[in-house]
Structure 1
Amino acid sequence: MYKTLVTESNIDMGSECAVIDIPKNRYPFCIVWTPIPFLTWLFPVIGHMGVALSSGVIRDFAGPYYVSEDNMAFGNPTKYWQLKHSNATGGVSGWDRAITEASDIYKERMHNLFCDNCHSHVATALNIMQYKKSSNWNMIKLAFLMLFFGKYVSFVGFLKTWLPFLIILTIILALTLTM
């Protein structure tokens, strides 16, 4: 059902959306998101973000001076948001070049949970490619856009995101009502 393949001909023919292969973790032209244990359990809109090359290989700022490739820091994506490569300056090659440049920049940066993090890495890539002719991408904007436009990879992806929060909330409510 989810298995689709990305081929050069799909991209060269000007297709706006390359095909996603969820079982193989290939998300071409996508921003991807996955929960961070404990943090997402308490605040389900906060998680870990990465961005995928045209091949679908994911890059994510996984820690100080480290950008992971094809192995997200907190597990496989549970959400994705596919963008249009035609909105990137330079098209497909501009998309890949910007992600590579942003990754090179972040390989030399200290990770900061509040100011310079995985969301900032993705925003930098979008700014470099001037996605939608904009260089005003930032971590807050991306967090909200992913919240509203991101699609869950499956029902299990939805549960991984929301079930721990709902369990904690239920426990808190149960304890509050018994007092």
Structure 2
Amino acid sequence: MTEAEEAKMKQFAESGTSERVDPERGRFPYCVVWTPIPVLTWLFPIIGHMGICTSSGIIRDFAGPYYVSEDNMAFGKPVKYWKLDSTKVYSTSQSAWDTSVHEASEEYKHRMHNLCCDNCHSHVALALNLMRYDNSTSWNMVKLCFLILLHGKYVSIGGFVKTWLPFVLLMGILLTISLVFHLR
């Protein structure tokens, strides 16, 4: 490879259009991302905050009533990501992924946040339904919760610890208290 080609490749990678996941830079192209919610995730480690990324890796998440954040997740940086296959978008347009993420985000800028019924998972589900990802329009928050659990990869050991350590400590404390009262 010539120096000019190497420079062009480096410029392409730095522009954010690369499809490589780069947790250090906070870029997760074509991914669903997840981060723990303090207290809630400590009690139920499979429940957390979710966002969806554009083709360039910019994170969009329904962060609260009438607000979709960009590259600033409501509960911190992603600790887990699920890389999706951009060829499973039901469209011949290369921009269909980004258009769907944009349209879902615009819709959720006009919605009230509801922890149980219309939340960050629902925002991601709408984006996937709009793009008809994997030829499906039946994406929902429950399905996404289990799929990120099954297919999600932790960005680091620290991400795994941040997710599971509070739960393990809490269960240890409860078990210890239970044993102490049981032995009396």
TM-score normalised over the length of structure 2: 0.88
Q: Counterpart in 2 of 1:78? A: 79
Displacement of 1:89: 2.3
Q: Counterpart in 1 of 2:22? A: 21
CA contact (8 A) 2:17 2:56 kept: no
Q: Counterpart in 2 of 1:66? A: 67
CA contact (8 A) 2:31 2:82 kept: yes
Question: Secondary structure of the residue that 1:122 maps to in structure 2?
Answer: helix
Any stretches of 5+ residues in structure 1 without a counterpart?
11-17
Equivalent AA in structure 2 for residue 22 of structure 1: P
The structure number with the bigger radius of gyration is: 2
Question: Are 1:127 and 2:129 matched, yes or no?
Answer: yes
CA contact (8 A) 2:16 2:27 kept: no
Q: Counterpart in 2 of 1:137? A: 139
TM-score normalised over the length of structure 1: 0.91
**Cα–Cα, structure 1 residues 92 and 74, in superposed 2: closer, same or farther, change >3 Å?**
farther
Question: Are 1:160 and 2:165 matched, yes or no?
Answer: no
Identity of aligned residues (%): 59
Q: Which runs of 4+ in 1 moved over 6 A?
A: 6-9
CA contact (8 A) 2:32 2:82 kept: yes
**Cα–Cα, structure 1 residues 28 and 36, in superposed 2: closer, same or farther, change >3 Å?**
same
Equivalent AA in structure 2 for residue 132 of structure 1: D
Displacement of 1:92: 3.8
CA contact (8 A) 1:30 1:51 kept: yes
CA distance, structure 2, for counterparts of residue 161 and residue 69 of structure 1: 23
CA contact (8 A) 1:6 1:55 kept: no
Question: Secondary structure of the residue that 1:119 maps to in structure 2?
Answer: helix
Displacement of 1:49: 0.2
CA RMSD in angstroms comes to 1.4
Displacement of 1:6: 7.0
Displacement of 1:8: 8.1
CA contact (8 A) 1:123 1:142 kept: yes
CA distance, structure 1, for counterparts of residue 108 and residue 17 of structure 2: 31
Mapping for residues 13-52 of structure 1, pairs under 5 Å: 18-52=19-53
Any stretches of 5+ residues in structure 2 without a counterpart?
1-12
CA distance, structure 1, for counterparts of residue 126 and residue 25 of structure 2: 26
Question: Secondary structure of the residue that 1:49 maps to in structure 2?
Answer: strand
CA distance, structure 2, for counterparts of residue 7 and residue 173 of structure 1: 50
